[in-house]
Amino acid sequence: MACTLLVTGGAGYIGVHVLAALVEAGYQPIVLDDLSNGDRRAVERVARFTGADIPFIEGDVRNERLLDAVLAHQARAEQPVAGVIHLAGRKAVGESVADPLRYYDVNVGGTVKLLRAMARHGVRRFVFSSSATVYGAAREMPVTERHAVCPTNPYGHTKLVAEGVLRDVTAADPGLSVAVLRYFNPIGAHPSGLIGECPQDVPANVFPYITQVAQGRRSHLAIFGDDYDTPDGTGVRDYLHVMDLAEGHVRAMQHVLRHPGLLTVNLGTGNGISVLALVRAFERVSGRRVPYRIAPRRPGDVAAIWADAGMAHRVLGWRATRTLEDMCADGWRWQRMNPQGYATPPEPVPSGIAARAVRGRRTVTSLVPLLGGHNEVGRV
């Protein structure tokens, strides 16, 4: 029987891609999400195109009674939760400056409550969504996991505090096994075009903004600064394909299922890409123009940051394999096929597109049930 994993925040942008990767790898995910920034229809779409049943529980990760009920239910059903992938959290830097207590409550308090519920039910395997934001304005590039941490905003502080909680609980309980994943900049979408990023408001991040400009929904991109000390003056980041990131979670879970202790690891490609280079790549791949204007620097931005991705390769055997062109092509396919996000009725994916997009990966087989999927997504 497939190993059952609880994915908190599993209806969000990263979460639904993690679900697809988990099913592909043979795991049985169950989702807990309060839908504050996720979409139940996204989970339903993953269930349809993978042919998997993905139980969905609508609820808050701070609700300990609910956590107890879910973990007890799974144990009674003889499908105990073997591990937790904890993605639920707030992630908007500006909002965290305006309302820091909410960030501490959800990101730190939520993690503590989840760990307590796991302890009560004997669940000892944990993968945590952290962020390269913990490095702040990094001094040496590429950034290794040993680089000093110094977040510059409340969001980053909450990620670092949660990392500290995980370090302390792992030290206190040698049977516990935790992987902290420091994400760089995930972009793009699943190659099926059925799931992707769906910002509720004006996109705060550069890639969904670019796709909306290309679609004609916004007139132009504002590039925040062209006077940084970078090759073309615009900010440099380590963009990675969201499916590479999702597969990194699978590798991290496989690691914690076998090895006790704490692992903290960067997930990035190791390549720094400027905003202008990203715009140019997107224009080439999509055949659309992306008009832009140079605007003042955005407060709090760093000039350049990219990962040393060596540890993920050495310890997890994981490496990002998709190119910048793949990220642009897959992100653009999602935007084109879903101009209204998940409110757009899903179209069947022509098999040629799916096959080209996945380039021989096993995913192609899991796209077959797409046309006739009929999975239930329900509440416990």
Binding residues for ligand UFG, rule: CB under 6 A, are 91, 93, 131-133, 155, 185, 204-206, 209, 221-224, 235, 237, 275, 298, 301
Phi, psi at residue 246, to the nearest 5°? -60, -45
CA distance 182 to 180: 6
Q: Smallest distance, Å, CB 299 to ligand UFG?
A: 10
Q: Are 46 and 196 in contact (CB under 8 A)?
A: no
Write out the H or E segment, with its range, that includes residue 174: none
Contact call for residues 81 and 22 (beta carbons, < 8 A)? no
Cβ at position 241, least distance to ligand UFG in Å: 15
For residues 242 and 329, give the distance between their C-alpha atoms in angstroms, rounded to a whole number.
13
Give 37 or 133: the residue with its C-beta nearer to ligand UFG: 133
226's CB contacts (< 8 A; 6+ apart) are 232, 233, 234, 276, 294
Instruction: Provide, rounded to whole angstroms, the least separation between the CB of residue 275 and ligand UFG.
Output: 5
- Cβ closest to ligand UFG, residue 93 vs residue 181: 93
DSSP state of 143: B
Q: Which residues are catalytic?
A: 155
* C-beta of 158 vs 366, nearer to ligand UFG: 158
Q: Which two three-digit tokens encode residue 241?
A: 């394909």
Of the pair 14, 16, the CB lying nearest ligand UFG is at 14
The least distance separating ligand UFG from the CB of residue 308, rounded to whole angstroms, comes to: 15
Phi, psi of 250 (to 5 degrees): -60, -45
Nearest distance from C-beta of residue 269 to ligand UFG, angstroms: 14
346 upstream amide cis, omega within 30 of 0: no
Query: Under a CB-based contact definition with an 8 Å cutoff, are residues 367 and 40 in contact?
Result: no
Of 6 and 206, nearer to ligand UFG (C-beta) is 206
Q: Residue 250 or 275: which CB sits closer to ligand UFG?
A: 275
**Of 206, 170, 147, whose CA–CA distance to 328 is shortest?**
206
Contact between 106 and 95 (Cβ < 8 Å): no
For 120, the token pair is 């009560």
Taking CB atoms, the residue at the shortest distance from ligand UFG is 235
H/E element, 178: strand 177-183
Radius of gyration of the chain (CA): 20
